[in-house]
Amino acid sequence: MSTIAVPTPLPSPAADAESLWNAMQGWGTDEKALIEILGRRTATQRAEIRRAYASIYKESLLTRLDSELSSHFQKAMILLTTDPAERDAKLVREALGRRGDDRDAWVLIEASCANTPDHLIAVRRAYRSLFGCSLEEDVAASSAFQQPLRMLLVSLVRLYRCAEEGVDVDLASLEATQLAEAIWRKKQPHAGEVLRIVSTRSKSQLTATFQCYKKEHGSDIEQDISNCSSQFARMLRIAVWCLTSPEKHFAEAIRYSILGLGTDEDVLTRAIVTRAHIDMRNIKQEYKVRFKTTVTKDVVGDCSGYYLDILLALVGSED
C-alpha cells in the first residue's frame, strides 16, 4: 500500500514542471519545493512531469537535479525521479561492479523478486538499452558473486515468473516435501530442486508451497534456511521473503541501515524510495511489530536536513 500523499486537486504536469524550474533558478535551490512536488507524486505522474519538463525547457530534469543537489539528498531525489525500471537497472549495474557482499546481492534480489514479473522484464529491457548487454549474461559473468550464489541470482533474473493467482495444491505439497528434503534434512539449500522451485513458480504457488512446508514439517522455511550457515542461505531467505512477504525484508533492511555507528544511506534510500508507492504501509507495520519502534522515529534519529525531509515525505505519517 502506497504512502505517497498526492495533492487534490493535482496540478498538471506542465504546471509541476514550471514549479520545478522556478525552484532551481537564481542563486539558491528551493529544496522544499522540490520535495513538495516530487515527493507527492506517483511514478506515473513523475514520468509525465519529466516529459513535460524536457518538452518545455529542452533539458533533462534528472540532469538538472543532479547539477543542483548534492550528497544523500541528491541521490534520493534522482532515484525517486528516475523511471523505476531504469532506476533498478542502474542499481543492479552498480551492484555488479562492487565486491559482491550481502548488500549487493540484495539489490539483484529486490529487482527480480520484490515486484511483478512484468517489472523484471522492464528492468531487463532497460538494462540492455542503457548498457548494450544482457542483464542475465552480466550476472552470469560477474566475478562479484561466487557459486552457488551466482547461480541463484542468474536463475532469479533470467526467467519470466508466472503471474497467475491459481494454485495447484498437490504440486505445493509435493514441492514442499522436496524443499524439506534439501533444506531441513540434508542442509543443502543450494540443491537444484530448490533453485528450480524458487526461481520458476508464481508467487501465489510459492506461498501455498511454503504454507504446506510449515504444516507438514512444523517450521517456517525461512527458519530452516537460516539454520544453514552460508551467504547463499542468507540470500535464499531474502529471496523467499521478497517473493512472498517483501515487507519482512525491507523492514529488516531499514533497520540494518540505521544500526551501528553510521547510517548506510544507500540501503536506507533504496528501501524507502523504491517501496513508498508499493507497500510502505505494510513495511511500517512489520517494522513496528518486529522492532517495537517506528520507521519514522529511527529515521529521525539517524538522518537530517533535506535528506531527512524527503525520506519522511515518502514514509508518510505514523501513529
CATH code, 285: 1.10.220.10
pLDDT for the residue numbered 266: 96
- The tens digit of pLDDT for each residue in 26-55 reads 788 999 999 999 999 999 999 999 999 999
Say how far apart CA 272 and CA 28 lie, in whole Å.
27
For the chain, the average pLDDT equals 94
- The tens digit of pLDDT for each residue in 124-158 reads 999 999 999 999 999 999 989 999 999 999 999 99
* 223 in any annotated domain: yes
Q: What grid cell was written down for 17? A: 514542471
* Residue 51 shares a structural domain with residue 38: yes
Q: What grid cell was written down for 98? A: 562492487
* Residue 290 shares a structural domain with residue 256: yes
Section 83-98 average pLDDT: 96
* 100 in any annotated domain: yes
pLDDT classification of 284: cutoffs 50, 70, 90: very high
* Residue 214 shares a structural domain with residue 260: no
Asked which of 158, 189, 213 is the last residue of a domain, the reply is 158
In the predicted model, is pLDDT for residue 227 greater than 80? yes
* Residue 213 shares a structural domain with residue 274: no
* 1 in any annotated domain: no
- The tens digit of pLDDT for each residue in 155-200 reads 999 988 877 778 999 999 999 999 999 998 999 999 999 999 999 9
Q: Quick one: which H or E segment has residue 172?
A: helix 169-180
* 143 in any annotated domain: yes
Section 220-224 average pLDDT: 94
Q: What grid cell was written down for 311? A: 525520506
pLDDT for the residue numbered 3: 75
Asked which of 244, 273, 306 is the last residue of a domain, the reply is 244
pLDDT classification of 317: cutoffs 50, 70, 90: confident
* Residue 203 shares a structural domain with residue 217: yes
pLDDT classification of 1: cutoffs 50, 70, 90: low
* 75 in any annotated domain: no
pLDDT for the residue numbered 319: 65
Chain centroid to CA 68: 26
Q: Specify the range with the lowest mean pLDDT, choosing from 1-10, 46-55, 287-296.
A: 1-10
The whole domain housing 26 covers 13-69
* Residue 240 shares a structural domain with residue 173: yes
Say how far apart CA 165 and CA 252 lie, in whole Å.
27
* 149 in any annotated domain: yes
Helix axes 265-275, 305-315, angle to 10 degrees: 30
Q: What values do phi and psi take at 238, rounded to 5?
A: -60, -40
Tell me how many domains the chain contains: 4
* Residue 277 shares a structural domain with residue 238: no
* 4 in any annotated domain: no
* 78 in any annotated domain: no
Say how far apart CA 124 and CA 96 lie, in whole Å.
14
Asked which of 222, 244, 266 is the last residue of a domain, the reply is 244
DSSP structure class, residue 2 = -
Say how far apart CA 41 and CA 69 lie, in whole Å.
19
In the predicted model, is pLDDT for residue 261 greater than 90? no
